[in-house]
Amino acid sequence: MNIVVCVKQVPDTWAERTLRPADSCLDRASVDGVINELDEYAIEEGLLQAEAHDGEVTILSMGPQKAAESIRKALSMGADKAVHLVDDGLAGSDALGTSLALSTVLARIGFDLVILGAEATDARMGVLPAMLAERLRVPQLSLARKVEIDGNTVTVHRLTEYGYDQVVASLPAVVSVVEKINEPRYPSFKGIMAAKKKPVETLSLADAGIDPAQVGLGAAATEVLSFAKRPPRQAGTIVKDEGDGGSKAAEFLAAQKFI
């Protein structure tokens, strides 16, 4: 089975993140990049499924040169090979552009199953899995907390506000995962050494056959009009309990429409 895991490098979630005044894009240069946290769960799920079904895991990442470090980490965790889509023309791509680029590469390399995190910690749009599935014309199974593959069918379990869903589709398919699904492994030192010898194919827009006019900041259908720093946290209200603490707390919750 041919499993492709899409991996995005995002700025370290612990670091201060800023937008560049010039183009309103996220400043990625000044902070260290890490694998988007949910994508680590996607990698783990890809590895588990590949181990169970004699499959192979390919990492697909679109991102600047620096993303090579995240690709290497994914390979160190145990993925077999990687494709890195890297081109200055991709900078500033919105979800539409990114999904176009990734789906073009996915169609080119082929897949039985695409796994990715349900959202990225930087943009937090959460639309990429759906867009990829739509562009590839395959089923999308979203927010999986458990994945089962049996022959040509894939079943995912997900928790919703109203209960548990079990969704079944035929392969090939796109599955997005949430952090309940597994516990990502650490890259072992042997894995780190082995990753050095694993193939990483680097593709430019031209190599991948992607029209530069349809991706990048220029082609983005969305635009950041303005942005502002988060206001400093307001001091909380302190209510003194003079025998009526309970009702005051209830009043507060009611005013915030929690109850």
Partner 1 sequence: MAQRPPATPAESDLLRIDDQLSPDERLVRDTVRAYTAERVMPSIADWFEAGILPRELVPELGKLGLLGMHLTGYGCAGMGPVAYGVACRELEAADSGVRSMVSVQGSLAMYPIWRYGSDAQKEEWLPRMAAGEAVGCFGLTEPDHGSDPASMKTHAEPNGTGWVLSGSKMWITNGTIADIAVVWARTPDGIRGFLVPRGARGFTARAIHKKMSLRASVTAELHFDSVKLPADAMLPGVSGLKGPLSCLTEARFGIIWGVTGAGRSCLEAAIAYSRTREQFGQPIGGFQLTQSKLAWMAADLQRAQLLALHIGRLKEAGTLRPEQVSLAKMANVRTAIDLARQARTILGANGITLEYPVIRHANNLESVLTYEGTEEIHALAVGQALTGISAYR
User: Residue 216 region, left (φ>0) first, then alpha (ψ -120 to 50), else beta?
Assistant: left
Q: Percent helix, strand and coil across the chain, each rounded to 5? A: 35, 25, 40
Round to whole Å and give the CA distance between 68 and 79. 14
Q: Which stretch binds partner 1 (CB under 8 A): 26-34, 54-62, 86-94, 130-138?
A: 26-34
Please identify which residue in 80, 122, 165, 179 interacts with partner 1, judged by CB under 8 A: 179
Closer to partner 1 by CB, 55 or 184: give it. 184
Please identify which residue in 26, 31, 167, 219 interacts with partner 1, judged by CB under 8 A: 31
Closer to partner 1 by CB, 186 or 258: give it. 186
- Letter string b/e over residues 184-203, b meaning 16 or more CB atoms within 10 A of that residue's CB: beebeeebeeebeebeeeeb
Please identify which residue in 6, 9, 58, 72 interacts with partner 1, judged by CB under 8 A: 72
Round to whole Å and give the CA distance between 78 and 72. 10
Closer to partner 1 by CB, 4 or 181: give it. 181
And the tokens for 90? Answer: 């991709």
Please identify which residue in 21, 163, 186, 257 interacts with partner 1, judged by CB under 8 A: 186
DSSP state of 240: -
Q: Which stretch binds partner 1 (CB under 8 A): 32-40, 46-54, 81-89, 142-150?
A: 32-40
Round to whole Å and give the CA distance between 105 and 50. 21
Please identify which residue in 29, 168, 193, 224 interacts with partner 1, judged by CB under 8 A: 193
Q: How many residues bind partner 1 (CB under 8 A)?
A: 25
Taking the alpha carbons at both ends of the chain, their separation in whole angstroms is 50
64 contributes a contact to partner 1 by CB under 8 A: no
User: For residues 81 and 201, is the Cβ–Cβ distance under 8 A?
Assistant: yes
Q: Which stretch binds partner 1 (CB under 8 A): 10-18, 78-86, 165-173, 246-254?
A: 10-18
Residues in the chain: 259
Round to whole Å and give the CA distance between 8 and 1. 23
28 contributes a contact to partner 1 by CB under 8 A: no
196 contributes a contact to partner 1 by CB under 8 A: yes
Torsion of CA 237, 243, 244, 250, to 10 degrees: 70
Q: How far is the CB of 33 from partner 1 (least distance, A)?
A: 8
Binding site for partner 1 (CB under 8 A): 12, 14-15, 31-32, 34, 37, 40, 68-69, 72-73, 76, 179, 183-184, 186-193, 196
